[in-house]
Structure 1
Amino acid sequence: MQPVLNVEDVKRVESGLTEVGVSISELMHRAGTAAANEVMRTDDVSSVTVFCGLGNNGGDGWVAAESLRKRDIDVTVVTPVAPDDIQGDLARVVAKSAQSAGVKMLVAPPKGRVEELLLSTDVVVDAMLGTGFHGDPRAPFDIWIECINASGATVIAVDVPSGLSAQTGLASSRCVIADMTVTMLVLKPGLLADMGRDACGTIVVAPLAEQTERLVLEADPVAWRADLEDYVDVLAPPSNAVDKFTRGSVLVVGGSLRFPGAPLLAAQAAARSGAGYVTLAVPEPVAPILQSQMPEIPVMGLPSDPDGTFSAEAADIVAELALKRTATLVGPGMRVSGGTVGVVSKLISSEVPLVIDADGLNCLARLTSNKLDDFPELLRRNEPLILTPHRRELGRLVGQQEVPPASLTAAMEAARRIVWTDGGSEITVVAKGSATACVSVDAAVLPKPGPAALATAGSGDVLGGVVAAFLARSNVGNDDLPVLSALACEVHGYAGSIAAERFGSHGVMARDIIDALGLAEDALEEQIAFPESTDMD
């Protein structure tokens, strides 16, 4: 897994490197050289324009420019002030060194001159605003960002695209849209989520020093970016020695007369994700609607209230059914009522592996008055519990319903409030968003995010079914729940990519994702190197 550090914690790594003899000056030279190396890997590059700011990020740019000049690249630096006028001592020294090496420069050029220069530029290096930036880019950087984005040149950002928050992945106004981001030392959360997904392009991590890995681990990563090989221990090797009983069984509990389709999507997703047996429990008036649509999946009608939601009498029946299954998913389309809150409460108190999604989460919020983190006794159990909220649902759970988490880091903070209240390894919160974090008491695992095609009604119900199926199929311990959840998210995301290829990025519906789930898991398994089994004597 690749560690991810908050921006503030990156400073601790930099300080640690200076303590072991790697000076800030040396780090700047290594960072600029790393950026220059990536420029040289670009096809057919002969002319480069480097946009430099006034701080250390700009210093990296000056070093990159000098390195490129020494490799016979036609390079020009665009700078707001002349090297002698740069206030930072280190940035001023490297700027004057580049000037002495023959690097051409434009000092505070008008917009028209910048546009003219970019017409003959193959690669742009963005070294204007670094990881410490926040707020709105000011002149001239806002103008330069506009020119860069309109240029059509290949853009390589140093550490973070200018204008983007490396911490939140948000930009208050415009930011550079890069083809590649060469980020120094370690991944930062803002590069992986929200606007960062569009702005960063391919991300290359330049560690800069051999001591970096140790210092990053000591800085306590806020999250870990999962690689495919990390799933080996939670994904059983392919085998023909299985039957429907050994592949796990899933109970899906949900639905209402208003939303009959949500549990249908979840149940179909669980079946497409390899669960050997899936049962659907819905309010009695909903059962006839669904029975004819799913011949492979038994549909059970349970006691209901006049509004077509579960009644209080359904809770005990649901709990009894759950005891006979290896995993239960509760919530899709069930609405929030006295009866549905009772169903969720009964399932939480039952010792069954449980996934809570959608209205199941809203029932939890109702049950705890939007303060789930104040009710640790409600969540403590021995069997696995996986919550799958999107950011608005997560906000309701922790009292942030008016201003829900707006970034990956804010979502992780809210999820940690829940898991740390519980304090046990049996709970994982899958905080869904443009980048998803699978948060447990020990770690937050970031699966590779899926395409924008997943942003469609019912996609979350599908993911709930996938998570439940993987939980039912697995024999992993509670410590592996965030990795297992991350794998389910990756399969869901890959299925979204397959569906987008079939129907276009704007034409995908939830059922299209379901149909691609099996193909997605097969494709991921082909890329994972399973340990060879040992022959028995």
Structure 2
Amino acid sequence: MEHRFGPIAPDQVLTVSQMQAAEQRLMDAGHDVHELMQRAGRGAAEWVWRIAAHAPVTVLCGPGNNGGDGYVIAETLRQRGYAVAVVAALPPGTDAAKRAASLYSGETVSAAEAEGAVLVDCLFGSGLNRQVEGALRQTLLDLAARHHRRIAIDLPTGVESDSGALLIDGLPHYDLCVALGAWKRAHFLMPAASHWRMAQLVDIGADDEGVRARVITQPALNAPAADAHKYTRGLVTVVGGAMEGASILASRAVALAGAGYVKLLSHEPVTNAPADLVVLRSPGEITLADALGDDRIAAVLCGPGLGRDHQARERMEAAIASRQPLVLDADALVMLHADGLAQRETTMVLTPHAGEMAKLEERFGLTGEGTKPERAAALAEATGAVVVFKGPDTVIASPAGTLAFTPPASSWLSVAGSGDVLAGIIAARLAVTGDPMQAAEEAVAIHGRAAQIAGPAFTAAMLAEAVHTVMAEFS
């Protein structure tokens, strides 16, 4: 399923407790719950109106304030002349929901009587933390099956907001998820995020909460300075190994993502290097220590094509010992141990997928428990590195506690070599910016956009070539 997100701003991503605090601050400033519910419901109704296109609408309302939002949505649509009916799965239970229900002048029907074309799910919102079972589950599933289009308000019923976990068996798929007030973590985390095609945000006026969790947005990339040369633009050294294809692929991504100079330190003879890639044999033409000791190096990439034998381990250890800004990927992550980072204080980025993450957590004494953002943050703190926890819901964490989320990228990225391309882009952006968190965020955005440009069924080499187009688009 292709995912589309509307405008991201404001870009903060809040937990349930942080959203509750934001709402409380609004109320402390003189905005009552009724006013906030009207803002949220009317804003959501704008999106229902666009999706429904005058088709009949059924609004499924629960007992809490999410249900109250549903009554506001229904009344707003009714006033616009829509055929709308409310299904009250449970009576309103909060004062705000009761007031919203009292202001609704339209039809209320049983679930069996509902005949709309569009279902608006306001049964439970982002505060849900228990399983949805029994009659409530069956009501939702029956209505979803009988409505051609489905819209979730804040989050679909049966999604745990802070983790993206599912609290219902058989969660329906939705055409649209309308976030209220702020983005929640589940809007970017699997498996929840695979259950809607498009997401939009309704801003209710919440202030920036000062949380260190943001959505990755399209970066604005700068052209090199007028007096730039290949070294000032960033020299990236790629430590190759037994598999030259992955090293060459990563090197290509480095070159296309803005670095001024790329050197591949090869262990074996390289037979397929492009003419514009500088290849040095080490050992052979130069020692690895000498090559990595070049003070003009802006970033080192180690992992793609490295291998896992004793020679690969020695090359990884040399890269770490160089104290150059470092990106570790693929095989390097599999071999990395906590004692290998002892005394290292220079910039580093780690790029684990789920399997590599589990190995790193074991080696760094981490439990591996918690949500994906929590696991990424724990590894970042333990290693002192920026962690790019890859997957269909990539999360980036810094040692300082910053989190970055990204809208789901194209599922066509699930192809061999795409991680090598991402690692190369990160290394290039690290060389250019000198900031590991900025580099990681820019790289993930570039990588995701390159997948869109490459289209369906691309190879990793095609993905790397698309990076050039993205750089022009983002500059």
Q: TM-score, normalised by structure 1?
A: 0.77
Tell me the distance in 2 between the aligned counterparts of 1:44 and 1:413: 41
Tell me the equivalent position of 1:510. 460
- Amino acid corresponding to residue 393 of structure 2 in structure 1: A
Tell me the equivalent position of 1:225. 215
- Larger proportion of helix: 1
3-state secondary structure, aligned to 1:94: helix
3-state secondary structure, aligned to 1:522: helix
Tell me the equivalent position of 2:71. 62
- Return the offset for 1:318: 5.2
Tell me the equivalent position of 2:3. none
3-state secondary structure, aligned to 1:51: strand
Tell me the distance in 2 between the aligned counterparts of 1:447 and 1:52: 30
2:317 is the alignment partner of 1:345: yes
**Percent identity between the aligned chains?**
29
Tell me the distance in 1 between the aligned counterparts of 2:291 and 2:312: 11
Tell me the distance in 1 between the aligned counterparts of 2:364 and 2:109: 50
CA contact (8 A) 1:450 1:490 kept: no
Q: 1:191 aligned to 183, 187, 194, which one?
A: 187
Deviations 1:268-287 (A, max 9, x none): 22123233332222323xx2
Q: 1:19 aligned to 28, 31, 48, which one?
A: 28
Deviations 1:439-466 (A, max 9, x none): 2215223345431111111110111111
Q: 1:269 aligned to 233, 247, 253, which one?
A: 253
Tell me the equivalent position of 1:36. 45
Tell me the distance in 1 between the aligned counterparts of 2:194 and 2:367: 22
Tell me the distance in 2 between the aligned counterparts of 1:512 and 1:332: 17
- Amino acid corresponding to residue 258 of structure 2 in structure 1: G
Tell me the distance in 1 between the aligned counterparts of 2:122 and 2:140: 11
Tell me the equivalent position of 1:300. 280
> Which segment is superposed worse, 236-245 or 263-272?
236-245
Tell me the distance in 1 between the aligned counterparts of 2:197 and 2:263: 42
Taking structure 1 as reference, are residues 34 and 50 closer, same or farther at Cα in structure 2, changes over 3 Å only?
same
2:203 is the alignment partner of 1:213: no
Tell me the equivalent position of 2:177. 181
- Return the offset for 1:418: 3.6
CA contact (8 A) 2:366 2:378 kept: no
Tell me the equivalent position of 1:417. 378
Q: TM-score, normalised by structure 2?
A: 0.87
Tell me the equivalent position of 1:249. 235
2:62 is the alignment partner of 1:53: yes
* 1:139-158 alignment, distance < 5 Å: 139-151=134-146, 153-158=148-153
3-state secondary structure, aligned to 2:362: coil
Aligned residue-pair number: 463
- Which structure has more relative contact order (CA 8 Å, sep 6+)? It is 2
2:80 is the alignment partner of 1:71: yes
Taking structure 1 as reference, are residues 358 and 59 closer, same or farther at Cα in structure 2, changes over 3 Å only?
same
* 1:67-216 alignment, distance < 5 Å: 67-81=76-90, 83=91, 86-98=92-104, 101=105, 103-107=106-110, 109-110=111-112, 113-114=113-114, 117-118=115-116, 121=117, 123-151=118-146, 153-172=148-167, 173-209=169-205, 212-214=206-208, 216=209
Taking structure 1 as reference, are residues 254 and 449 closer, same or farther at Cα in structure 2, changes over 3 Å only?
farther
Tell me the distance in 2 between the aligned counterparts of 1:380 and 1:244: 27
- Return the offset for 1:403: 10
Taking structure 1 as reference, are residues 401 and 417 closer, same or farther at Cα in structure 2, changes over 3 Å only?
closer
- Return the offset for 1:329: 0.3
Tell me the equivalent position of 1:495. 450
Deviations 1:185-235 (A, max 9, x none): 2111110222343334433322323xx114x23xx24x111333xx34xx3
Taking structure 1 as reference, are residues 237 and 261 closer, same or farther at Cα in structure 2, changes over 3 Å only?
closer
2:302 is the alignment partner of 1:330: yes
2:265 is the alignment partner of 1:281: yes
2:393 is the alignment partner of 1:393: no
Aligned-residue CA RMSD in angstroms? 3.0
> Which segment is superposed worse, 268-277 or 148-157?
148-157
- What are the ranges of 5 or more consecutive residues in structure 2 without an aligned counterpart? 1-8
Tell me the distance in 2 between the aligned counterparts of 1:245 and 1:438: 28
Deviations 1:269-320 (A, max 9, x none): 2123233332222323xx2xx323433323334359xxxxxxxx97535534
> Which segment is superposed worse, 444-453 or 50-59?
444-453
CA contact (8 A) 2:241 2:312 kept: no
- What are the ranges of 5 or more consecutive residues in structure 1 without an aligned counterpart? 305-312, 526-537
